[in-house]
């Protein structure tokens, strides 16, 4: 992830080098070479995605017409992308952002050990029906809509048991498709409360 960009654009390469120094290990090597199992760990995934996003921005900036940044009215991001947007807007510098999201990832992983939580995308079903599915499949476990990606695409998060029950139930109730996501933690649900509280203290 990001290797071709780094090889082609000095500005992008500089972003990866700065990110490496900020986290104190060769994050760029993991981005470029893997292994994929390491890159999927959220404490690595989050700074890797942030660094790659900012590297893309800096590569674009190197080729854009002069003064283009001054014409940007706002910056926004989806989930982790909020931190990339803060860097793009100049509200947070790259080094601080990389360190923050590294810690954010560590806290999230510590809140729910690998394998105990899960996420799945439910396609072809309105969010109101997905909410009912979550209620019916929870059986006392945490399970809730986590991301509303489109009118008929909702990502759910919770315990692995509950998400697996929901996948079966969604198919029975007419969802077009369900996809288990290759993530190491169940983001955007109540299982992340301990991580949220720890990160809030750091910020």
Catalytically active residues, by annotation: 79, 188
* DSSP classification of residue 126: -
Residues 6+ apart with CB under 8 A from 88: 54, 57, 72, 75
Question: 117: closest CA among 55, 161, 73?
Answer: 161
DSSP characters over 34-87: --HHHHTSHHHHHHHHHHHHHHHHHHHHHHSPTTGGGG------STTHHHHHHH
Helix-strand-coil percent breakdown of the chain, rounded to 5? 60, 15, 30
Residues 6+ apart with CB under 8 A from 202: 100, 103
Question: 2: closest CA among 43, 30, 22, 36?
Answer: 30
**In terms of residues, how long is the chain?**
203
Q: Which two tokens stand for residue 16?
A: 């990866």
């Amino acid at each position: 992830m990001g290797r071709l960009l780094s090889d082609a654009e000095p500005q992008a390469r500089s972003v990866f080098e700065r990110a490496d120094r900020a986290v104190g290990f060769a994050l760029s090597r993991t981005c470029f070479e893997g292994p994929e199992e390491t890159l999927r760990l959220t404490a690595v995934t989050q700074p890797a995605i942030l660094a790659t996003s900012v590297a893309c921005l800096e590569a674009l900036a190197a080729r854009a017409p002069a003064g283009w940044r001054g014409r940007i009215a706002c910056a926004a991001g989806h989930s982790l992308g909020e931190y990339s947007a803060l860097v793009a807007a100049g509200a947070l510098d790259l080094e601080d952002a990389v360190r923050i999201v590294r810690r954010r990832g560590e806290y999230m992983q510590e809140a729910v050990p690998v394998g105990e939580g899960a996420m799945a995308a439910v396609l072809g079903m309105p969010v109101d029906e997905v909410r009912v599915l979550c209620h019916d499949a929870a059986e006392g476990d945490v399970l809730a809509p986590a991301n509303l990606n489109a009118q008929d695409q909702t990502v759910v998060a919770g315990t692995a048991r509950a998400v697996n029950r929901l996948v079966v139930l969604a198919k029975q109730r007419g969802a077009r498709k369900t996809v288990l996501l290759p993530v190491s933690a169940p983001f955007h649900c109540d299982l992340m409360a301990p991580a949220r509280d720890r990160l809030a203290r750091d910020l």
